[in-house]
Amino acid sequence: MNVFITKNIPQAGIVLLQEKGINLTINPTENILSREEFIKICKENDVLLNVGANNLDEDFFQQCPNLKGIALFSVGFDVVHMPSANSRKIPVGNTPDVLSRATSDIAFLLMQSVARKSSYNHKKIINGEWGSFNALENLGQELYGKTLGIFGLGRIGFEMAKKCKAAFGMNIIYHNRSHNESAECELDATFVDFETLLAQSDVLSIHSNYTEENNELFNKNTFAKMKRNAIFINTARGKFHNEDDLFYALSNNIIWGAGLDVTNPEPMLPNNPLLSLPNCCILPHIGSATSEARNAMAICAAQNIIAVFEGKEMPFAVNF
């Protein structure tokens, strides 16, 4: 069986695949392949290990009729047009659980960085703007006893809620497709409707799978319904928020601050106006970027591929 890996992954996954005698083609360049090159190589392979944001749409599936499986090096599967995979009975697998702690760590870090203006103050030192002590300057806000609102309380949201509860005794509210019994029992989390989530959250953190229904759900209208002291955190997908509206909300004190690990598009250009704001902290999509998480993701992805090789169900399938 031939597998195309679109970018290098940790050795732990490569070794597992090689031990099974699976032929690997690893994209040797760090550059993103053109669509034509990408499809050309996919056509020559049985399984794709997709690392990054290649768009696996209906056209892709039409052009690669011999594909037997797709392993994603991510928990999110928004790059795959699932109806196209499903209609062709192509299994798609992701890397759940193993990155939940690392990704929620970044959400937690962004929340604190925004609340205490840490990245803004770091930039001030670099710019030679560290002046004398001023009791009225650099005032952040404390998070003790505040309300954390989670949009999409799954595995990552649960980890974020757990940390916020333990560190700051935060009150947890959440909006989800269904009730999360463990969060309600263990964290005393309360299920609320979306409007209540907007109105009551001091920190609103997105931990949902991205779908088109949620495209730019966080926009001028929804930011206007949030508290003036609210901190907006997005570590899920950039397409959840409208960037111009976020800029407007942040620069007009509609909300207090924002922490983003995801942008739209990625990479964000260095002249993006959000980068100039003192109340916005932005990271380059590093949620799962720890050695522990990335090794474990490589192993999950390899296990999904090996399942296709052995004619079994993928252990981390998102469809079959």
Q: Which residue ranges make up the site for ligand DGY (CB under 6 A)?
A: 74-76, 99, 287-288
What distance in Å separates the CA atoms of residue 40 and residue 53, rounded to the nearest whole number? 17
What distance in Å separates the CA atoms of residue 266 and residue 256, rounded to the nearest whole number? 24
The residue from 37, 266, 292, 310 that is catalytic is 266
Residue closer to ligand DGY, measured from CB, 180 or 288 = 288
Residue closer to ligand DGY, measured from CB, 145 or 284 = 284
The residue from 101, 175, 207, 285 that is catalytic is 285
Catalytic (active site) residue 313: no
The residue from 175, 237, 241, 294 that is catalytic is 237
Catalytic (active site) residue 116: no
Residue closer to ligand DGY, measured from CB, 183 or 296 = 296
Residue closer to ligand DGY, measured from CB, 73 or 120 = 73
Catalytic (active site) residue 237: yes
Catalytic residue IDs: 237, 266, 285
